[in-house]
Amino acid sequence: MKIYVDGNYYSEQDAKVSVFDHGLLYGDGIFEGIRIYHGRVFRLKEHIDRLFYSAKAILLDIPMTHADLMKATVETCRQNNLREGYIRLLVTRGKGTLGLNPNRCKNPSIIIIADTIQLYPPEYYDKGLEIITVPTTRNLHNAVNPAIKSLNYLNNILAKIEANNSGCEEAVMLNSEGYVAECTGDNIFIVKDGQMFTPPLSAGALYGITRKVVIDMARESNMPVTEPNLTRYDLFNADECFLTGTGAELVPVVKIDGRVIGSGVPGPVTRDLVVRYHALTKVSGEPIYD
């Protein structure tokens, strides 16, 4: 494997960061997770844009242009001869002192790892997931805004641990007002009476790239999509529920906190969106090879 670190490629063994990197010391940095399908990087521009938005929010100057970062990402896939896979792109605050002052970190580090992907088992998609609501509240948007895809994922990790402790793969996270925010690594949607709903970003959701693709696909087929605040009651009484994320794509949810959702099997709207999402990944994306 060849890993991009600050303009050079290193083997897995030699790709390293300093123990004084504030990405390690404080989780001070940002990242993106991106998919490679059929020799193309899916929604690359959107991911790079979101990375720059995250950077702006934490006052981190990425020492590259959008275009050059896109090129470096594609080149890293090429160096690894990937046609299918997953890219982890991160920018750390860089090497500093033990104090937390980011001004001591002169050079942010850019790391690009392009690897194969470990997919969820097919039964999650065939039968649907059972998920639970966990006690850990989503970060306040006036503390660390969940829209920032930062290297500090402890909020999500705590929720994931709570889900795992209950034998679940994913968890619904509520915000401090008790509204549904999102899951630990996925956005959440419901379908009710022919309409689709997903929490607004202000509820503490990440501006998911898959979320946007799904909203656009639903609107293309004239299904109304809105972003109201949702409660657990709304989830329990939905006709269908599904999660979206770069890694997971679209996963149906059939049980939440012991309540069966709809008819207890993946619903027709979800199944249709899954088919259309896969079709899109076949034809869309930044080509890696000529």
Binding site for ligand PMP (CB under 6 A): 33, 156, 182, 185-187, 206, 208-211, 244-246
Query: Could you confirm whether 192 is annotated as catalytic?
Result: no
Query: In this structure, are residues 252 and 130 in contact, taking their beta carbons and an 8 Å threshold?
Result: no
Closest contact distance (angstroms) between CB of 202 and ligand PMP is: 15
Closest contact distance (angstroms) between CB of 246 and ligand PMP is: 3
Which tokens hold the place of 233? 């009651």
Number of H helices, E strands in the chain: 8, 16
Closer to ligand PMP by CB, 107 or 284: give it: 284
Closest contact distance (angstroms) between CB of 33 and ligand PMP is: 5
Which H or E run includes 211? Answer: helix 209-220
Closer to ligand PMP by CB, 148 or 254: give it: 148
Q: Is 262 left (phi over 0), alpha (psi -120 to 50) or beta?
A: left
Closer to ligand PMP by CB, 86 or 105: give it: 86
Task: State how far the alpha carbon of 240 is from the alpha carbons of 36, 64, 179, 234, 250, in Å.
Answer: 28, 42, 18, 11, 12
In one letter, which amino acid is 10?
Y
Of the residues 45, 149, 192, 212, only one is catalytic, namely 149
Closer to ligand PMP by CB, 110 or 213: give it: 213
Phi and psi, residue 143, nearest 5°: -105, -95
- The catalytic residues are 149
